[in-house]
Every structure is written in structure tokens, then in C-alpha cells.
Amino acid sequence: MNKYDSETVASQLVKAGYQLIDDWKKADLLLVNTCSVRQHAEDRVYSRLGVWLKFKREKKPHLLIGVMGCMAQKEGGNLFKRFPDLDMVIGTYHLYQIVELIKEKTKEGKVLKTEEIEEGEPPFPCIEVRENPVSAFVSIMRGCNNFCSYCIVPYVRGRERSRSPESIEEEIEYLAEKGVKEITLLGQNVNSYRGFSSLHNKYLDFPDLLEEVNKIKGILRIRFTTSHPKDLSLKLIKKIKELKKVCEHIHLPIQSGSDKILKLMNRGYRVKDYLSLVEKIRENIPGVSITTDIIVGFPYEEEEDFLKTLKVMEEVKFDAAYIFKYSPRPLTRAYSFPDTVSKEEKERRLHLLLTLQKEISTRINEKFVGKSVEVLVEKKESQNWFGKTKEHKSVILKGGDNLLGKLVKVKIFSNRKGILEGEVEKIPTLSL
């Protein structure tokens, strides 16, 4: 979501006449788009601002420096108290106003924009500045209603607000015209999407939206993230199976393998519910890739709870897992919980989970060796092309010219440190 927001802001600035440069010391405007999910992310921002503001004071007084996003929303005016030379603090509700806010700064001094607004239908951003020319993010909703006890997102991004299907489709059609072949639909919980369609004169849920997006010409692949286990329906599972462009990959955060911890996290499901859901997914979608998120060292997590998480990992056999040490966040309910797990113990548990997941991922990827797979080529690195399978497996390609943005058949010959290597067999003729 932050990448999408950063590209949105950069695109607005470029459209207004600004130019992106690689050397920050030569810039007239520096913006840091922030995340508040973990303390480590905030610490990096404070460090970055310290360097930038020192440079401003000593070398470039006219330099404009701003903080945007979740951290700006959470800290507000406190950032000016900590960094008196800071120029702008722009929260999550006002990223679409970046050009106007810079003009306001030049006229009136410091800018603080963090007030919550009842967001209507924002204009689709016409993103021209993208890290990846082949694959793009598209936000279908903002905010979250789940209030997991550890998560700050509802407090800095607000409650759920779904975009209309027509607005989403308009943005994707625009991206397709610009050569984008793959889109990833974004939401804190895409499964709770509910957008009113004036064309159909009714609310569409997420499976309905996928069906509409699947019709858009030029788009070859559709991904989405993130799915909350309590809301992932059988209807969605069947749509993933039926719709040709939707990739067989579901990111499904479990967070813990202990019912006690899941209850403390306010996740809204039990382990057996999660395992039953995984079983339904695999029954209906052959070869599906399932990835997850896990938090270790949550308050009151005892050794027994941790071992249950290990057991679930061994049973489910995730293709990949993003594993984090618990980080207390202000405003959340868990912030008042005692930090019962030592730093050393969190490190030990993290290491054990990472080691197990690496073994599982290696075994899964080894099954691809010797097989032919379909790869969407995203970029070129040195002499090799790079792309992904529908299951979200990274592939280095040997051979082939001018493959950017094309779907190619690739024969996999090795699995090296989690990245598959293969040779191009043929480029299919597609009419999607």
C-alpha cells in the first residue's frame, strides 16, 4: 500500500512539473512516506530525517522536507516539536493534495494536514511513475474495521472505505493502455470489499469485482492482497479457480498457531477454522500457493503456544512466510499488555520459524525443477530476464530477446536459494 501511495504522490508531482532525481542532495523537495506497523520502521524515519535536516541547516536552507503517511497521521504536530526545521506533515487522508499543500507551504509556512475526512470517490491517480513497468498496484479500498489488538492501521488509515468498481476498472484500463500486464488489487482486507456499482445498480463484493476486472483487455494476470481468514468465502475460492487471469496464489496471514494467542490478537478465528479453510482452498485450486504472516513473541505467548505455531507451519507447508517479532504499537489494545517474552526469546523463536520455513520453501520449489511453467517477464537484470509464475515464484530466465511484459513458457532446471532458474521454451500467442 505504501508503494502505491508513493507512486501516486510522485506521479502528481511529475505531472505538476517536478522531476525525480537519484541524488537526494541535489533535490529541492524531499518527502519520506512512512509506515507505523513496527517500531523499526519509525526509527528508520527518525534517522533519515536527522540526516536530511542537518544537511538543510548546513548546506541548503531552501530545501523543503516533508513527512507523509501513517507516521505523519499518528504523530501529527509532535514531529514539528521534535524536528523544528521540518516543513510539512501530511497524513494518510491528504496524499492526493500534495501539489496544493506544497503551494500552501510556500505561501504560509509550515503545513500540518492530518484531520480525518469522510473520503468520497478519489480521482484515480494516473500513475506515471512506477518501479515496475509490467506490474502495478491498484488500491480498491482504504482503512480497516478489524481492530486486531496489535495493529495500528485502523487508527492511522481509518475505517474501511471501498472504491466503486467503475473507478477501479477505469484505473486498470488506463494502466493496460500504458503497457501494464499484471495488477495487484490492494486492501487491508480485500475480502470485505463492498463497492456500489452504478452500472449494475447494486453493491459488488470482492469475487464480483474480480469477475469484472477479469474482463479488461490487455491485463494478463490479476493478484490481490491481503485476505483475512475470517472473511475468505467459498465464492471467492471458486472465482479464483474459474477466472483465467486470477493467479493461483493466496496470501492468508495466520499470525499464530495458538487459539489463546489468536483470541488475544482479536483475529476472529480458531486454528481449526484456518486449517479447514486451507483444505477447501487446496481442494478447489490445484497447485495453489499459500503464503502467510506470523508474529512471534506476542504478549503471553508461552513455549506451548510457540510450539503450536511450529506445528501449524509443518502441517500447512506454506510456500513462504513473512515472520516478525512482536512490536508494541501505541493506540492499540495490545500496547497495554505486559511484554512477557524477552528479546532473546523472541530472537530464538524467530530463528526457529525462519529455519523451518526455509526448509519447507526449498522442498516446495524443488518440485518445479524439470517442469515447464508460465512466466510473466518483469525486468532484465544483467544478461538475464526476471519474472514470476502464477504461483508467485521468482524465476531467472536464460535466453530470449525482447521478453519484457511477455508470458513465456520456461523449463526450470534449478532451484537456487529460493529463486528458480530456467530456459525459455516458447512465447505463447495470447488473446486475453
pTM of the model: 0.93
Q: Regarding predicted confidence, which is higher, 131 or 6? A: 6
Q: What's the domain count of the chain?
A: 4
Strands of the sheet with 135-139, listed across from one edge: 135-139, 182-186, 221-225
Per-residue pLDDT tens over the stretch 84-128: 999 999 999 999 899 999 998 877 789 999 998 766 556 666 777
* 313 lies in the same domain as 328: yes
The answer as to whether 171 is a domain residue is yes
Q: What is the CATH number of the domain that holds 379?
A: 2.40.50.140
How many other C-beta atoms lie within 10 A of the C-beta of residue 33? 23
Domain span at residue 303 reads 277-366
Q: What is the CATH number of the domain that holds 309?
A: 3.30.750.200
Distance between the two ends of the chain, CA-based, in angstroms? 27
Task: Using the predicted structure, report yes or no on whether residue 79 has a pLDDT greater than 70.
Answer: yes
Structural domain ending residue among the three candidates 247, 265, 294: 247
Residues 6+ apart with CB under 8 A from 290: 249, 250, 251, 252, 278, 281, 282, 316, 318, 319
* 199 lies in the same domain as 303: no
- Set of cell numbers at residue 219: 491485463
Residues in a beta bridge with 186: 139, 225
Q: What is the CATH number of the domain that holds 73?
A: 3.40.50.12160
* 335 lies in the same domain as 284: yes
* 70 lies in the same domain as 149: no
List, in sequence order, every beta strand (DSSP E) within 276-429: 289-296, 320-325, 372-381, 384-389, 394-398, 407-416, 419-426
* 335 lies in the same domain as 390: no
Between CA 346 and CA 355 the distance in angstroms is 14
Between CA 89 and CA 101 the distance in angstroms is 10
* 322 lies in the same domain as 385: no
* 347 lies in the same domain as 410: no
The answer as to whether 124 is a domain residue is no
pLDDT value at residue 401:
82
* 239 lies in the same domain as 288: no
φ and ψ at residue 123, rounded to 5 degrees: -65, 140
The answer as to whether 253 is a domain residue is no
Per-residue pLDDT tens over the stretch 13-54: 999 999 999 999 999 999 999 999 999 999 999 999 999 999
Angle between helices 165-177 and 206-213 (to 10 degrees): 30
Structural domain ending residue among the three candidates 80, 113, 146: 113
* 109 lies in the same domain as 161: no
The answer as to whether 383 is a domain residue is yes
φ and ψ at residue 28, rounded to 5 degrees: -100, -15
Task: Using the predicted structure, report yes or no on whether residue 3 has a pLDDT greater than 80.
Answer: yes
The answer as to whether 118 is a domain residue is no
* 385 lies in the same domain as 410: yes
Q: What is the CATH number of the domain that holds 238?
A: 3.30.750.210
pLDDT value at residue 157:
92
Between CA 317 and CA 320 the distance in angstroms is 9
Structural domain ending residue among the three candidates 329, 347, 366: 366
* 345 lies in the same domain as 386: no
* 362 lies in the same domain as 316: yes
